[in-house]
């Protein structure tokens, strides 16, 4: 059973540290709408781990460390959820595919659009695409190879995927308009 002093200790901790912790969490790049939720989670983790806290340490520093770890975990979760190249591009490709279209026939049908769109990219963007999707390099390898940071590589690849998606959609739309003119 919980002792009254435990509850009082938690209330005092929250009262004394809440505002500073919220400010710190916001400086870590957490969306303003989620700052309170993450701060609350920090206090819950601190409560669960209270027995591991060394009373000689600075409590604020300990809470900020917990906050940093929670933000790192969110980043890892977010990167795991981004296994698809681009959600919109995947949806488009799935929409245009079925069991038999997944074969080489599908690539022959839309491969020219993709190749043409990749060729239209700036040289550095083409190197990023080739390194990632032809050579299979991850963001860290590409960053080292191209003299960029991993974050910059990931951001650039996201923008390139958006460009390619837009380009492919335009190509397919243009092709269907041309086909429509010849069939009417």
Query: pLDDT tens, 73-88?
Result: 887 777 655 544 455 5
pLDDT tier, 125 (very low <50, low <70, confident <90, very high otherwise): very high
Average the pLDDT over 86-115 and give the result. 52
Average the pLDDT over 125-152 and give the result. 86
Which 8-state DSSP code applies to residue 132?
A: I
pLDDT at 3 over 70: no
Average the pLDDT over 33-61 and give the result. 86
pLDDT tier, 56 (very low <50, low <70, confident <90, very high otherwise): confident
Long-range contacts of 37-41 (CB under 8 A, 24+ apart): 38/67, 38/70, 38/71, 39/67, 41/70
pLDDT at 109 over 70: no
Percent of the chain with pLDDT over 70: 71
pLDDT tier, 112 (very low <50, low <70, confident <90, very high otherwise): confident
pTM assigned to the model: 0.42
pLDDT tier, 122 (very low <50, low <70, confident <90, very high otherwise): very high
Average the pLDDT over 22-32 and give the result. 84
């Amino acid at each position: 059973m919980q002792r009254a002093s435990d509850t009082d200790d938690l209330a005092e901790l929250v009262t004394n540290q809440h505002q500073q912790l919220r400010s710190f969490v916001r400086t870590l790049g957490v969306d303003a709408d989620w700052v309170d939720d993450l701060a609350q989670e920090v206090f819950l983790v601190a409560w669960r781990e209270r027995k591991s806290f060394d009373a000689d340490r600075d409590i604020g520093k300990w809470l900020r460390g917990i906050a940093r770890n929670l933000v790192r975990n969110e980043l890892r979760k977010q990167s795991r959820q981004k296994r698809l190249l681009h959600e919109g591009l995947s949806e488009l490709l799935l929409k245009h595919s079925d069991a038999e279209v997944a074969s080489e026939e599908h690539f022959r049908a839309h491969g020219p659009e993709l190749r043409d769109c990749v060729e239209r990219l700036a040289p550095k963007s083409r190197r990023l695409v080739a390194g990632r999707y032809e050579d299979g390099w991850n963001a860290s390898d590409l960053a080292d190879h191209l003299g960029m940071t991993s974050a910059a590589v990931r951001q650039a690849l996201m923008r390139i995927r958006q460009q390619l998606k837009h380009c492919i959609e335009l190509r397919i739309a243009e092709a269907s308009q041309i086909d429509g003119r010849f069939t009417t």
